[in-house]
Structure 1
Amino acid sequence: MAYILQVDFPMNGPFGEEMAETFAGLAESINQEEGFIWKVWTENPETKEAGGIYLFETRETAKKYIDMHMNRLAGFGIIDVRSRIFAVNDQLTSITGGPLQR
């Protein structure tokens, strides 16, 4: 069973192409995290929010990642971070075409 990690936080930018350029190195480093499968990056310039939806192999690796990520975000001055971990129902996700692997 895989686990979704949902994260969002207030952010003043950058967004769009500038966000992609600014955080490309971070994206590459996330690929190296233990148990990481994929991430969908989220952003909303109108409400000044960003975050992501991650898929991890286990609840433990998702928890380990968010603990590390909260510290990293605090280093950027971002402290109002919301996160949740959910188990993925593999059978229903397969029916609706959700990716469960890289």
Structure 2
Amino acid sequence: MAYVLQVDFTMNGPFGDEMAAAFSGLAQSINEEEGFMWKIWTESPETNEAGGIYIFETKETAQKYLDMHTKRLAGFGITGVNAKIMAINPKLSDITKAPSLK
């Protein structure tokens, strides 16, 4: 069973193309994390929020990444990280056109 990690936090930018340029190295490094499957990056310049929806192979690898990522964000001065880990129901997700978890 795969697990979703939902993360969001307050951030004063950059957003859009500037965010993509600034964080492309970070995005590449996430691909190397244990149990990582994929991520959707989220942002809201209107509310100064950013984050992402991650899929991990196990709850343990999602938690390990969250622990590391929260510390990394704190190093950037970002605190107050909202996060939760939940199991994915693959049968219902298939019906609603979720990306394959195989």
Residue 101 (str. 1) matches residue 76 (str. 2)? no
Give the count of matched residue pairs.
102
Where do 1:1-102 residues align within 5 Å? Answer: 1-101=1-101
Q: 2:6 corresponds to which letter in structure 1?
A: Q
**Please, which runs of 5 or more residues in structure 2 have no aligned partner?**
none
> Does the Cα contact within 8 Å between 1:9 and 1:81 map onto a contact in 2?
yes
**Please, which runs of 5 or more residues in structure 1 have no aligned partner?**
none
TM-score (norm 1): 0.98
Q: Point out 4+ residue stretches in structure 1 off by more than 6 angstroms.
A: none
Question: Whole-Å Cα distance in 2 between the matches of residues 47 and 61 of structure 1?
Answer: 30
Tell me the percent identity: 67
Report SS of the residue matched to 2:34.
coil
| CA RMSD of superposed structures (Å) | 1.0
Question: Whole-Å Cα distance in 1 between the matches of residues 6 and 100 of structure 2?
Answer: 15
TM-score (norm 2): 0.98
